[in-house]
Amino acid sequence: MSEEVDRSEIDDIDSYGLPRIPLRGHYDVKRCDKRRQWVEKFSSTNLQHIGEWWANEGSDDSCSTTKLKGNAENVIGLAKVPIGVAGPLLIHGDHVNGHVLCPFATTEGALIASATRGATALSRAGGVMVQVGQQRMLRAPAFLMRSTHETRVLWDWLKENFRHFKQQVSLFSQHCVLIGMEPFYFGKSLVIQFVYETGDAAGQNMTTSATWHACKWALKKVEEELPGIRVVKFYIESNVSGDKKMAAGHLQSSRGWFVQAEAWIPEQLLRSVLKIDSKTLLQAHQTLQEGAIRVGALGSNVNVANVMASVFIATGQDVANTAESATALLHMSAVSKEELEEAQKKLFYHSDAKVYNGDTKVEEGGVYISMQLPSVVAATVGGGTMLATQKECLQIMGCHGKGTVRRLVEIIAAFALALDISTLSSIASGHFASSHERLGRNKPESGLREVHLNNEFFSKVVGSRGTLVDWTPMKVDAGTSIISELTKTEISKKVGHFGYIIHYTTNSGEVMEWPVVIKSKPLDSETATMINKMAQACGLELAVQYEKHKLDTGFRSCHTRELAIVQMEDPKLKQFLPEIYYSVSSISKDMFVYVMEYLSDENFTHLNTADDISGWTTADIKVVLRDMAKFHALFMDQLEWLQKQPWMDHAHSRETAMKLRPLWKAMLANALREFPEFWTSQVVELTTKAIDSADAMWKIFDRFPQTLIHNDCNPRNICIHKAGSVQHVSDQTDDDPRLICIYDWELARIDVPQHDLAEFLAFIVYPETSIYKRLELIEYYIVMLEKYTKQKYNRRNFLKVLDAATLDFQLNRLNMYTMAHTFKDYRFLERVVRSNSAYLLQRKSDGHLKFITMAAKL
């Protein structure tokens, strides 16, 4: 709560004994805070977040409550709306020529991503041509007369005195220029639409003031010069201006800025970026046009209002002007190859844009799209544009201050076109791949929910340790848990990692503070469906293939598999796992939850280091390789038992691999298209040969003993106990007393141990590292595996199996990572792809990998 209110300053009861908001007209921080405290008391709420002012409150006019006069009344705080940037978008206009970012203030998920996708397509096509026309700001006062004859006489007089009106307007505003007057007759009423240009300001307030003073002057002059007529009543606004309203007039003549944007998109770009073909896109556009006509929509577009509202909020515009500003006409038509080539010559002439991966090379026809926005009301000076965050958002676009409003309008139009083409493409392609699937189709009461995290739950966690006192949430860094991250935003139940601090009393009466982490698993079907949604957004072929094979990619039973493994009682395995305190596994309730120890920097090193491996020394790497060999050795003689477990996934077989080849090729095509900078043609060629050689690769896996592998074995899921912090019983006899802790076992499976080794080395070895250094690490792992299995392994055979496992990691896992990377930036990915590829290309250069070259020839 705020500081105690000084009642001597509070006047919150009016003369009728009714409550009223106190301290009206005051804008200093102290009184704004007191006003907020009054609201807290009045509404029985705590307005802690609303009351957070600017970090540098009062340092300048843009972040001072005293300067909010004219922007808001009865101020009690600030609204924090998320701001993201869309783009970059290549724009060619009279006031913009280059790549531009655009800030969107919105809480609508996927909006900015969609606008960015559209910007990518348009930029690769050569950019957007924009033209901004005339500005017209309207104010429409009404004069009530005694007859229609008097309305005609009055209009004739007003028309003859137009130049005097201009002079009167100039007396009251330096920026407001009267450029025209238009009459509207309504019986005995005459409405005059005053047309202004207002420069960099939106001009709604200044035109109101200027019109008021000019009309007051006119009323006085009419009384002097036209004694035979009388103005019965005068109103400053009649609604004919269409201020903040959807109106047909905004299409016929502007209120604000008139601006147009256009672009030409080749067929191959439609397919590669927007995942659509021109025929389907044009059919969808026609359907939406027909729908707009049927409901009587003003204009025809997809969702221009989203751009207007989010950009207006971000940049301090009057958001109510979205009503007229979003009036737009989207046009689309097919164009020939020759028309596209001619258009691209013009587009690339205007910029330094380079042909991107051949996408802009015209091989067939495409579409022409244009957007007409006749009434964009925008400003770069005055009003909310002077506030701190709004000012910064305008600066992102180079649009703050005098002389920049035309640039702003051009940018808005270009991004409106980008969002519309992206959204329309999504609508048009939605039927291609099971978009009807919903992750939230479970029973309302299914899955872990907030209501389940109660005293009863935490008492079971405490168990025999003592008696629960209380529990509070604790923020935890879940790292880059991709599966949970992908699904948790799409389903209503709690999924992912959640930290809590538990206080309990021991049997001896001592109060203990105990941090724990709850992990709640999504179902395998929920995970597969979420990945399927990503595949749909990556193109038709990938969507179709993933839909066919979504549970053959290793995710079947992933929600039960991890719980089964962490609940194993084998002390030799448990020494490598986080300590598990409590678990719930309920098929009927779709609840798969366990409570584990909190992995903190106090007891562990190398937590969540996938993005930055600079802290890993050779000694650290060898600790992981040694313990990896140890847990691999544990299960080499337990295969029969493992294979009988209901939670074990058996998809990684030769038969499944042969079926998955079309999916792998579709993912590889997406990787090359989206990230050619590290999925180079050389890497793609090698990976394609591996796909074609799947049969030969899987025969190689039969040459080595299988075991339980983690199958997600990298620094995202591995850390190291600090020396002296290990609490599990260990038979460690090596010089280094540390042990690894390996977690997130949802993808574990039966396979050759080289799979884990290949993945860990791809993550932990820099791409430029000598292959001999990598081979030294491989040799160390082999020695450790021989030690714990008491077996000897032929080095040549081991490396051949490792090569096949490294290729499998490339086409299976790195392909999947790359698909996710299309939607979220995983910093580690480029390094890992380059590292894995560098090893494979060097091995091929050294005369190995012959099994894929021979199979490819066959």
Query: So which residues are the catalytic ones?
Result: 108, 244, 318, 436
Element (H, E) at 653: none
Give the bridge partners for 183, in sequence order.
192
The runs of H, that is alpha helices, within 226-303 are 249-252, 267-272, 278-294
Q: Count Cα atoms within 13 angstroms, Cβ side, for 693.
A: 25
**Structural contact between residues 629 and 777, judged by C-beta atoms closer than 8 angstroms:** no
CA atoms of 368 and 333, how far apart (whole Å): 5
Contact 630/784 with Cβ under 8 angstroms?
yes
Give long-range contacts, CB 8 A cutoff, 24+ apart: 813-816.
813/759, 814/762, 815/664, 815/667, 815/668, 815/671, 816/531, 816/553, 816/667
> 426: which DSSP letter?
H
Are 761 and 777 contacting, i.e. CB atoms less than 8 angstroms apart?
yes
What letter would DSSP give residue 141? Answer: -
Picking from 29, 28, 30, 49, the residue whose alpha carbon sits closest to that of residue 40 is 49
Residue 142 CB contacts under 8 Å (≥ 6 apart), including other chains: 189, 190, 191, 234, 235, 237, 238, 240
- CB–CB of 35/21 below 8 Å? yes
Tokens 């970090």, residue located: 55
Secondary structure E strands in 413-540: 466-474, 496-506, 511-520
Q: What is the DSSP letter of 19?
A: B
Q: Which two tokens stand for residue 25?
A: 């007209």
DSSP string over 73-94 = SS--------EEEEEEEEEESS
Q: In what order do the strands lie in the sheet with 604-605?
A: 604-605, 718-721, 740-742
| Residues 402 and 385: beta-carbon distance below 8 Å | no
β partners of residue 85: 103
Find out whether 375 and 325 touch, Cβ atoms under 8 Å.
Answer: yes
User: Integer distance in angstroms from the first to the last C-alpha of the chain?
Assistant: 76
Backbone angles phi, psi at 758, to 5 degrees: -60, -45
- Tokens of residue 441, six digits: 């189709």
